[in-house]
Structure 1
C-alpha cells in the first residue's frame, strides 16, 4: 500500500511565509523563496501546497523541475514550467510581449516563427521570461515553481538568478527547491539571500512528536492510535525525514508487521535496521514481492535515472509494447512510479530517493552489468541517438566502470552543444569529460572546454585553460584544431574588451599555424587583429589602413571558403574602418554584410548590419527613419541587446533633433534594462545620451549626475570619450557661455582621438571646433579646407558648424554676400537640429556685427527667442546683451510675451506693442486705442511708429491689414 500523509506536518512557519509571499505577489510586490533541504525532507510538499493555494485563488501557476538523470538539457525546468501553463491555455497574445516572443520561443518551440531565428542570450531570455511572468500576474499575481534546481543546467541557474534579482516591483512569486549540495544552484541561492533579493528556508528534520503526527495522518488513525512500537521503529530509522517516514511505514504495513485489527492498529515484534541500509532493505523486500519482469523494469528504470522515457526503456529491455505497458501499469499501481507531466512518454519515480534506493539494492557487479546492458542497447541507435541519449550513454558507461568511454561520449555531447550555441551547458559537459578522459586525449577536451568557457562568459577560466594547453607540432592537423580554439577564445576576449589576452591567443594561434596559415584561419585571425586596432591601446590611426586591407582580404577569403560568420565579422570591421574613406564606402561594406547574412540566414549578423546602416543614415542626414525600422526589426526578432543598442542611437538622435520628450522616454525605457542584461556598451551609450540631453537643455546638475553614472560604468575607459567631451561637455559649456571651457573640452577630444582611431564623428573635431577656432582667430582657411575634406564633414551636424565657420572666414575676408549665403546654406543643412542652428546663429552673429555682414540683429533675436523659450538663460541673456551692443532694442521679457506670435517676437515686438497691434485688426483710431488700454494718445503714436518699423509695413493701413491677417490665422489655428 501507499502510506502518504494527507497534511503537511511541522512546517507551519514555512507555510505562513509562502502564503505571505503569494499575497504580496498579488500586490505587485514579488519575491523569490528557495526551499533547501535533503532529499525527502518535504520541499516538494510545501511547493505543491503553495501551488494548490494559488490555484484556489485563480492565480496562474507555472511548474517545472530539473531532471536527476545527470543529463544537461538547457532550460529544461523552464520549458516544462511554460508548457505546464500554455499547453492548454495557448499562446499569449498580449501586444507588449511581441518583442519577447522570439526569445521565449527557445523555451516553447510552438512559438517559433518561420525564417531564421535570432540567438537570444541567457540574459535576454531571462528578461523575456520576466516580462511574460509580469503579464501573467497583472491581475492576481503569478507563481513559478521550479523544483530540484541542484540538477539544473547552468543556463537555467543564470535565468533564475536574473529573475530573482528583479522581482521587487513585479506581481511574481518565484519558488525554487534544491538540495544543500555544493554547486551553482546553492551558490546563486545563497548569493541572492545575501543581496536580500530572495528568502532561503532551510528545512530540518521533524521531531518525534511531528513524526508521530505524520504517521497518524498517513494511516488515517486517530490520535494515540498508532502503536508506540511502530512509532519507535519509524522515528529511529527515518531520522525525521518525511519521505522515509512514509516508506518505512508502507514497508511495515506491506510486510504485515503493522496491521489493523478490530481493536485498532497493532505492531508485531521483528528485526529492524538502520538508515539508509534499512530503507534499501525495505525496497529490496518490496521488489521481491513483485513479478520478475516488473522488478527488472524498475531496476533498469532506476539505472536510467529518476525520470525515464518509455521508448528508451523499451530499447534497453527489448520488451514487446503490450508487455511493457502491462509492467508499467503494475509498477504504477504499486505506487513506485507515475506518468511525468512533462511528456506523455515519460515516467518518473515518485521520489528521487526511490531510484537511489533501488539501485543501492543491487550488488555492485549487478549494477555495473545492468548499466553495461543498457549502454550496449543505446549504442545500437547509432547516428539516430539524441543528445539526451548520448549523455545518458556516458552516465551508463561510467556506472559500468568504463570512464574513458564515458569521457568520450561527454566530450562529443559537449562539442555538439557548443555548436548549437548552448555554451554554458557545453562547458558543464566538457568539464566532466575533462576529468574522465585519459591523459593522452585530455588536451583536445581542454581546448574545446576553453572555447565553451569563453563563449559562456567565464573568460578568466577560459584564459587560464587556454594558456595551459600543452604544445603540439606546428603545421599538423592537431595544431590546426588547437589554433581554431585559440582564435575563438581571442574573439571572445576582443568582444569582452581584453586586448592583451586577445593578443596572446592570436600569437599562440600564429605559432601553431606557422608563417603561412591556411586562408580560412588567416581570415579569422585578421578579423580579430583588426578589432584589436579599435580597442583602447590599439595601433592608433596609422594602424587602421593595414587593418582595413587585411579585413578586406579576410572577407573575400571567408566568402570563398564558406565561412559566413567570419565574412560578416570582416565586413562589419570594414564598415567601421572605411569611414575614413567616406560613409558611402562604409555603407557599401555594411550592405555586403547584410547580403551575406541574409544569404546564409544569420539573423544576428543581419540585425547588426541593419542597425549600423541605420546609424550611418542618421549621422549623415539627421533622419532616424532607417534606424527606427532597424529597431522594429530587432524587436520582432527578440534581439533585446540590439534593441537597446538602437535605443541609445535613437535617444541621441532625439537629443540632437531637440525632441527632449522622445529622448527622455527612450533613455528611461532601456538604460536600466541594458544594465540588468549586462549589455554594457548599450548601457554606457544610453547614459551618455542621458548626460547629453541634460547638457543640451542647460541643466548642469542633471548632466553631472548622468556623467557620474557614465564614469562608474567605465565610460571614460571606452571609445565614447570624444562624444563625452565634444557633444556633451563642450556644448554644455557653450550653453553656459563658457567658450574657453568649450575649447578645452574640444581640444581634449582631439588629443584623445590622435592616440587611437575614433568610431564616433560628432565629437566636434570636424564641426564645432573649426567654428570656434574661426571665431577666435586661431583657425585659418587652410585648416577649414582640411576639415571640409575629412570624412566627418559628411555628417549633417558637422556640416552646419562647418558652414558657419565658412561664413566667418568669408565675412572676415570681405565677402559679405558669400558669408550671408554660407549662413543660409548651413541653416538649411542643419534644419533637423534646432539647438545647434540657434547656437550657431548666436555664435556667428557677433562676428557678423564686427565685420559688417549678414543680418546679425535678426539672428540674435531669433536665437534669444529660442533660448528664452528653452529656459537656457545664459545664452538668452548673452543674446540680449549682444543686441544692445549692436544698437538694437533687446526684449524686455515682461509678462505676456509668450502670447506674441513667433514672427513678431523675433522682430522685437514688445508685449505692450502687441496689445496695440491686436486692436488694429478692427482699424480703431488712436483715441479709441488709448481709452481701451488706459494710455495716452502720444504713447499710442510711439507704439504705432515702432510697429511700423519692426514689421516692415509702409503705413497704418498696411499695418491694420497685417493685424487682421494675424487675427484670422489665430482663429484658424
Structure 2
C-alpha cells in the first residue's frame, strides 16, 4: 500500500482563510494569498483543497507550476495555468478579449497565428492582458489562479504576478501562490506585497505531535489512538513535522516490512541501528536497491535532468529504444516515484522535488559528475538543435560535472538568445549565472551582453554601472567593436528615456572604441542616436540643416549595409526634422520608414510609421481615418503601449471635433490601464485630453480636477506643457470670456517653447495667439506673416484662426471683399471643429461691427445658439451682449425654442414667432391665426412683420411658401 493521507491534517486555520478568500472573489473583492514553507510542508495539499472547493462553487480554476529543473522558461507556470483550464473549457470568445489576443498568444497556443508577428510584447502588456482575461473568466462567479513553486519561476512571471497582485482590488479573482522561503525574486515580491498590504502571506509550520499522529492514522486508515507509540516517536523525531517526510518514511517502513498490519492493528519492528536520517536520503537509497537495475538507472538519469524531464531528452541521454524506454517509465510510474506531467504529453515529473534531489544525492560525488558529463555530451551530440531549453540543460549538466567555464558559455548563449527574443528578465538571470561562472577571458563579453539586457529590460542605471565597470580594450580591435556595439544599444535606450547626459557619454565611449574612422554601419548607428539626442529638451540646438544632412546619409548607409532597424530610426528622425519644411516632406520620410519596416518584417517599426503618419494626417486635415488604421495595427500587433499612445491622439482629435462621447469612451478605457502598466507618456496625454474636453465644454471645475491629475502624473515636467497652456488653458479662458488670461497662457506657452523647443503644433502659437493679438491691436508689423510662413500654420486647426486674423486685418483696411473671402475660407476650414468655429465667429464679430464688413449679426446669433445649447453660458451671454450693444434685438430664451430649425434660430426667430410661422403653409388670415393662438390680430401682424424681416422674404406670399418648405422638411 502507498502511505498517502486522503485528508488534509492540521491546516484548519489555513483552509478557513482560503474559504474566506474564495467567497471574497465571488463578491468581486480580489485577493492574493501566498503559502510559504519548506518542501513537503503541505503547500500543494492546500492548493489542491482550494481547487476542490472552487470547483464545487463553479469557479474556473487555472493551475500551473514553475519548473524545478533549473531551466529559465519565461511564463511557464502561466502557460500551464491557462492550458489547464482551456484544455477542457475551450478558449473564451468574448469580444472584450479580442484586443488582447496578440499579447495572450504567448500564453494561449490557440490564439497564436500561423506566423509570428515578430513583436515581443512587454511584460506589463502581457500582465494587463492576463488581468483582463481573469476578469472575464470570473465575472459570473469569480475565478481562481493557482501558481505553485514560484521560487523556481522566471523573472518575467514574477513581474506578471506582481502586476496582477497590485491590481486585483474590485476584481473577481483569487490568486494563490506557493513558494519556499528561499532568497530570490519571488520571496522578495511576496514580502514586498505583504508590506504594501496587497497580499496576505501565511508561513506553514510543521505539524505538532498530535497532528503527526492524526496524519499517520489517516495514511494507515487507523484510528490515531491505535498508532504504536514506537512508530509515533520515530516519525516525530525524524520527520520534524513535515507531512511529506511522514508519508515517505511510512512508505519505507511498509516496503521493508518493518511496519505491518496484524489482527490487533499495526506492529513495528525495531530499527537495527536507529540512524535513519531525518531527511529521506537513506530511504530512497533503500528503495533504489530494491528496484530492477534498468528502472533504477533510468530514474537516476532522469533525476540528473531535474524534477521534471522531457522524454525525448531522456531517450537521447539513455540511448534506449522506444519500447524499452516506455516499459521502464511505466514501471517507474507504478512505483509512485514519477508521474506524467499533465501540462505536456512528452514530460514526466517526480512525485516531489525532494525525490529527485534525494536520488541524485544517493550517488557518490564522482558518480554524479560522471553521469552529468555523459548526459551533457549526449544532448550536445544528439544532432538536435540546441534551443534555449536544451542549452540551459546542457549548462546545468556541465556545472554538475564540474565544468564551470563550459556551463558559463552555454548560459551566456542562452541568455543572448533570450535577449534577442525580447525576454529581457530571463536574459538577465542567465547572463548573471554565466558571469558568476565565466573564465577570466570571457568575463568582458558576458558583462557587455548583461549590460545591454539590463538596459533593454528597463534597468538603465544598472546597465550604465556595468558598462562603467568594464576593463579597457584596445581601440579598433575586435573586442572594441563588440564593446562599441553594446554602447550604441545602451545609448539608444538612454536617448529614448530622454537622458541626454547618459546618451552623450555612451556615444563618446563608442566613438573612442571605433576610432576616428568607424565603419559605415557604426557611423550610421551613432549618427542616428546623436541626431535624436539633439532634439531632447535642454540640449543645445544644432544647425538643423547639418543634423538633417547627416541623418539622411545615415539612412542611406543603413539601407545599403542591411541595417533596417537603424534605417527606420534614421527616417523617423528625418520625419521630425522635416516638419520644419512642411508636412509633405515629413510624410515622405515616414512613407519610406513604412516601406522598409514592411519589407523587412519589422512590425513594431511599421506601426510606429503608421501612427506618425496618422498624427500628421489628422493635424493637417482633422481627419483621423489613418490614425484609426494605426490603432487597429497596434492592437493586431498586441502592443498595448502603442495602442494607448494612439488612444491619446484619438481622444485629442475627438476633443477638437467636439465628439464628446467618443473622447470620454477612449479616455475611460485607457487612462487607468496606461497608469497600471506604466505607460506614463500615454497616460499624461490621455489625462490632458480629458482636461481639454472639459475646457472646450466650458466645464471649469471638471477641467481643474483633470489638470490636477495631469500634474500629479508629472505633466508639468513633460513636453505637454504647451498643450496644457494653449490648447486647454487658453481655449477654456476664452469660453469663460477671459481674454487677458487666455493671452497670458499663450504667452507662457510661447516662453516655455522658447526654452524647450518641441514639435507640438497645437499650442496656439501658430493660430490662436496671432488672432488674439490682431484683435487686441497688439500684433507687431510682419508678425502675422512670420507665423503664416511656418509649417505649423498649415495645420487645419491653426489655419482656421489665421484665416480669421487675416479677415480682421483686411476689414480694418477697408477691403470688405477680401475679408469676406477669408471668412468663407474660415467656414470651410472650421467645419470639422465646432467649438473653434463658433468661438471664432464670436471673436471676430465685434471687429466686423466696428469696421463694417461681414455678417456679424448672423455670426453672433449662430454662436449664441451653439453655446446656449452646449451650456457654455459665459460665451452665450457675451454674444447676446454684443448684439444688444449693436442695437439688434436679442432672442428671449423661453420654452419651445428647441423646436425651431437652426436656420431660423440663428436669424433670431422666437418661439412665439415660430408658432405663427408653422401655420403659414395653410395661408390663414390674421384673424384665424389670432384665434388659434389666443392672441390679438395686432400681435399676429407684429410677428409677421418680424418674420418677413428675419427671413428676408419680400412679402407674405413668399413667407408662406418658405414656411411650407421648412415645415415640410421637419421630422
Q: Taking structure 1 as the reference length, what is the TM-score of the superposition?
A: 0.97
1:658 alignment partner in structure 2: 658
Matches within 5 A, 1:441-460: 441-460=442-461
2 CA distance for matches of 1:527 and 1:694?
Answer: 40
1 CA distance for matches of 2:41 and 2:494?
Answer: 45
CA contact (8 A) 1:793 1:799 kept: yes
Equivalent position SS for 1:217: helix
Matches within 5 A, 1:64-83: 64-83=64-83
2:689 alignment partner in structure 1: 689
2:733 alignment partner in structure 1: 733
2:472 alignment partner in structure 1: 471
CA contact (8 A) 1:218 1:246 kept: yes
1 CA distance for matches of 2:740 and 2:383?
Answer: 76
CA contact (8 A) 1:116 1:603 kept: no
CA contact (8 A) 2:395 2:410 kept: yes
CA contact (8 A) 2:448 2:467 kept: yes
CA contact (8 A) 1:407 1:434 kept: yes
2 CA distance for matches of 1:2 and 1:577?
Answer: 75
2 CA distance for matches of 1:364 and 1:886?
Answer: 104
Q: Deviations over 1:947-973 (max 9, x none)?
A: 211111222222233233322222xx2
2 CA distance for matches of 1:933 and 1:319?
Answer: 105
Q: Deviations over 1:858-877 (max 9, x none)?
A: 11111111111111111111
Equivalent position SS for 1:176: strand
Equivalent position SS for 1:935: coil
Equivalent position SS for 1:457: coil
Shift of 1:781: 5.7
Change (3 A) 1:730 1:919: same
1:2 alignment partner in structure 2: 2
1 CA distance for matches of 2:349 and 2:757?
Answer: 60
2:253 alignment partner in structure 1: 252
2 CA distance for matches of 1:275 and 1:417?
Answer: 45
2:146 alignment partner in structure 1: 145
Equivalent position SS for 2:113: coil
Q: Does 1:712 align with 2:701?
A: no
857-866 vs 274-283, which moves further = 274-283
1 CA distance for matches of 2:462 and 2:851?
Answer: 67
Shift of 1:271: 4.6
2:621 alignment partner in structure 1: 621
Change (3 A) 1:805 1:372: same
2 CA distance for matches of 1:47 and 1:87?
Answer: 20
2:680 alignment partner in structure 1: 680
Q: Deviations over 1:169-208 (max 9, x none)?
A: 2222222111111111112222223333322222111111
2 CA distance for matches of 1:967 and 1:921?
Answer: 8
2 CA distance for matches of 1:548 and 1:730?
Answer: 34
Shift of 1:92: 3.2
Shift of 1:31: 2.2
CA contact (8 A) 1:544 1:757 kept: no
Matches within 5 A, 1:124-523: 124-271=125-272, 278-381=279-382, 384-523=385-524
1:863 alignment partner in structure 2: 863
1:524 alignment partner in structure 2: 525
393-402 vs 259-268, which moves further = 393-402
Shift of 1:649: 0.8
Equivalent position SS for 1:170: coil
2:770 alignment partner in structure 1: 770
Q: Does 1:16 align with 2:16?
A: yes
Shift of 1:659: 0.6
CA contact (8 A) 2:120 2:421 kept: no
CA contact (8 A) 2:31 2:199 kept: yes
Shift of 1:544: 3.6
1:969 alignment partner in structure 2: 969
2:915 alignment partner in structure 1: 915
2:876 alignment partner in structure 1: 876
Matches within 5 A, 1:780-929: 780=780, 782-929=782-929
396-405 vs 342-351, which moves further = 396-405
2 CA distance for matches of 1:750 and 1:494?
Answer: 25
1 CA distance for matches of 2:335 and 2:116?
Answer: 48
678-687 vs 192-201, which moves further = 192-201
2 CA distance for matches of 1:56 and 1:942?
Answer: 81
Shift of 1:110: 4.0
Equivalent position SS for 1:196: coil
Q: Deviations over 1:497-552 (max 9, x none)?
A: 32221221111111111122211112111221222223221233x44433322221
1:32 alignment partner in structure 2: 32
Shift of 1:94: 2.5
Equivalent position SS for 2:782: helix
Unpaired runs of 5+ in structure 2?
none
2 CA distance for matches of 1:376 and 1:114?
Answer: 35
Shift of 1:116: 4.7
Shift of 1:568: 1.1
CA contact (8 A) 1:339 1:348 kept: yes
CA contact (8 A) 1:133 1:172 kept: yes
CA contact (8 A) 2:216 2:224 kept: no
**Alignment RMSD, CA only?**
1.7
CA contact (8 A) 2:259 2:269 kept: yes
Shift of 1:314: 2.0
2 CA distance for matches of 1:838 and 1:380?
Answer: 78
2 CA distance for matches of 1:223 and 1:183?
Answer: 40
170-179 vs 640-649, which moves further = 170-179
Equivalent position SS for 1:440: helix
2 CA distance for matches of 1:547 and 1:48?
Answer: 64
Shift of 1:450: 0.5
Equivalent position SS for 2:32: strand
Equivalent position SS for 1:534: coil
Equivalent position SS for 2:62: strand
Equivalent position SS for 1:224: helix
Q: Give the count of matched residue pairs.
A: 970
2 CA distance for matches of 1:224 and 1:570?
Answer: 81
Shift of 1:330: 1.8
CA contact (8 A) 2:729 2:745 kept: yes
Q: Deviations over 1:720-773 (max 9, x none)?
A: 121111111111111111111111111222222223332211111111111111
CA contact (8 A) 1:447 1:482 kept: yes
CA contact (8 A) 1:533 1:544 kept: no
CA contact (8 A) 1:930 1:940 kept: yes
CA contact (8 A) 1:535 1:719 kept: no
789-798 vs 939-948, which moves further = 939-948
2 CA distance for matches of 1:571 and 1:231?
Answer: 77
1:633 alignment partner in structure 2: 633
Equivalent position SS for 2:832: coil
Shift of 1:277: 5.1
2 CA distance for matches of 1:943 and 1:520?
Answer: 82
783-792 vs 930-939, which moves further = 930-939
Change (3 A) 1:275 1:599: farther
2 CA distance for matches of 1:830 and 1:275?
Answer: 90
Shift of 1:115: 4.5
2 CA distance for matches of 1:496 and 1:546?
Answer: 24
Q: Deviations over 1:455-485 (max 9, x none)?
A: 1112221121112222111111101110111
CA contact (8 A) 2:768 2:798 kept: yes
2 CA distance for matches of 1:900 and 1:315?
Answer: 86
Equivalent position SS for 1:206: coil
CA contact (8 A) 1:237 1:274 kept: no
Equivalent position SS for 2:831: coil
Matches within 5 A, 1:553-632: 553-632=553-632
Q: Deviations over 1:69-96 (max 9, x none)?
A: 1110111111112222223444433222
CA contact (8 A) 2:551 2:570 kept: yes
CA contact (8 A) 1:414 1:425 kept: yes
2 CA distance for matches of 1:283 and 1:35?
Answer: 27
Change (3 A) 1:363 1:114: closer
CA contact (8 A) 2:39 2:354 kept: yes
2 CA distance for matches of 1:602 and 1:428?
Answer: 27
CA contact (8 A) 2:144 2:174 kept: yes
CA contact (8 A) 2:372 2:400 kept: yes
Equivalent position SS for 1:369: helix
